[in-house]
Amino acid sequence: MFNEKEVEWGKLGFAYVKADYNYVSCYKDGKWDDGKLVKENTLTISNGSTALHYGQQCFEGLKAYRAKDGSVQLFRPDQNAKRMIKSCQKLLMPEFPVERFIDACIQTVKANERFIPPYGSGATLYLRPFMIGVGDNVGVRPAEEYIFSIFVTPVGPYFKAGLSPVNFITSDYDRAAPAGTGAVKVGGNYAASLESHLLAAKQGYADCIYLDPATHTKIEEVGAANFFGITKDDKFVTPLSPSILPSITKYSLLHVAKEYLKMPTEERDCYIDKIDEFKEAGACGTAAVITPIGGISHKGKLHVFYSEKEVGPVTRKLYDTLFGIQMGDIEAPEGWIVKVM
Ligand SMILES: Cc1ncc(COP(=O)(O)O)c(C=O)c1O
């Protein structure tokens, strides 16, 4: 049983902790019901559900942060709601409206207040909204019924001893096809990434780097995170491709680099054979905000960016600014923060 009085928040990992309440809304006869909070963390669905056989499902990941004044806030939940709509459109699932998505997140966080880590612990409350196609079905076709649900779980700081660089290796495999589902957050992309991740981990790397599926010459994703590099003349560069998941952290960093740090920014191809154009590099996503990249191994050669041991100064500034915004310590651009309580 979870006891919030005894938990060591800073030591929590990224593991499932059963919270008190989950949000569930069902879609039937062409419409969503009103949705409600439930205690059960299990769903009973038909064994013919399209989510089980044909991967008709999608999900999101975002966090609730406890600010210094004790209030609780979500970071850009509208962006997750909009990305989920794109995933739904791609897999012919019904859209869950943006306003309802945000309201469902707020309800779920409020109901699970005792799981929200305190300010300063580095821990946060992770929210996992998801949608699955359900109902009696056997053929390959979109379901007629769906479940939208949210669960939450407290997660510890990604780096327990502060930001530190890790190494990655390029993968020979692809997580998505050139004109496939790479730009949406659907389970199939992650199923396709499990083996590449295992191969990278077995060789001692944090994760693998996916190159563009058509030519294998350009960096696309770093495991389940986006890539960015800092050029020698201090430009923030990140790849642009239709098979990359548009990371909300990445687009927030682009804004932070430009508006807060006054750096030029570019979204363009990042060729693996030209990575020496970058003096620093990082992976970005909700889980860690930024994971500094020490080096990338490609075709048997390790290219080290700033250092394998220390975080580069630009990467640190980007991290401190964005995490400061998420925690409420630094003023956020308009509309980025949604107060829960
Ligand atoms: C494949 C992939 N790329 C990038 C990201 C980072 O996206 P975000 O910053 O929205 O968490 C994620 C995580 O959601 C991901 O799964």
Write the CA distances from 289 to 55, 62, 78, 218, 283, integer angstroms.
Answer: 28, 11, 18, 23, 8
pLDDT of residue 120: 95
- Say whether both 195 and 297 belong to one domain: yes
Q: Is the CB of 129 under 6 A from ligand 1?
A: no
- Is residue 33 located within the same domain as residue 181? no
Residue 230: predicted pLDDT: 98
150 pLDDT tier (thresholds 50, 70, 90):
very high
Domain boundary (104, 125, 155) is at: 155
* Percentage of residues of the chain with pLDDT beyond 90: 98
Using a 6 Å cutoff on CB, does residue 239 contact ligand 1? no
17 and 144 in a single domain? The answer is yes
What range defines the domain where residue 139 resides?
9-155
Answer yes or no: is 337 within a domain.
no
Confidence of residue 66 (pLDDT cuts 50, 70, 90): very high
Same domain, yes or no, for 178 and 207?
yes
Catalytic sites, residue numbers: 185
Question: 245: domain CATH number?
Answer: 3.20.10.10
- Does any domain span residue 2? no
What pLDDT does 159 receive?
Answer: 84
Could you report the per-residue pLDDT of 160-188, keeping only the tens digit for each? 878 999 999 999 999 999 999 999 999 99
Q: 3 lies in a domain?
A: no
Residue 114 shares a structural domain with residue 190? no
Q: Is residue 341 part of a domain?
A: no
Q: 158 pLDDT exceeds 90? A: no
- For residue 208, tell me if it sits in a domain: yes
92 pLDDT higher than 90:
yes
Q: Looking at the structure, do residues 170 and 47 belong to the same domain, yes or no?
A: no
**Residue nearest atom 2 in ligand 1 by C-alpha distance:** 224
Q: Which atom from ligand 1 is nearest to the alpha carbon of 250?
A: 9
Whole-number Å distance, alpha carbon 224 to ligand 1 midpoint, is: 5
The answer, yes or no, to whether any atom of ligand 1 lies below 6 A from the CB of 193, is: no
Question: Which ligand 1 atom sits closest to the C-alpha of 221?
Answer: 3
The CATH number of residue 70's host domain is 3.30.470.10
Question: Total domain count for the chain?
Answer: 2
70 torsion bin: left (phi>0), alpha (psi -120 to 50), beta (else): left
**Best mutation site among 84, 245, 290 for ligand 1 pocket (most ligand atoms within 8 Å of CB):** 245
Same domain, 299 and 232: yes
Q: Are residues 145 and 185 in the same domain?
A: no
Give the pLDDT band (50/70/90) at residue 1: confident
Judge if 185 and 95 occupy the same domain.
Answer: no
Query: Does residue 203 share a domain with residue 136?
Result: no
Ligand 1: atom nearest CA of 223 is 1
Give residue-wise pLDDT tens across range 217-243: 999 999 999 999 999 999 999 999 999
pLDDT tens digits along 109-141? 999 999 999 999 999 999 999 999 999 999 999
Tell me the per-residue pLDDT of 236-291, one tens digit each, with 9 for 90 and over.
999 999 999 999 999 999 999 999 999 999 999 999 999 999 999 999 999 999 99
pTM above 0.85, yes or no: yes
193 lies in the same domain as 115? no
Q: Is the CB of 221 under 6 A from ligand 1?
A: yes
Contact 126/34 with Cβ under 8 angstroms?
no
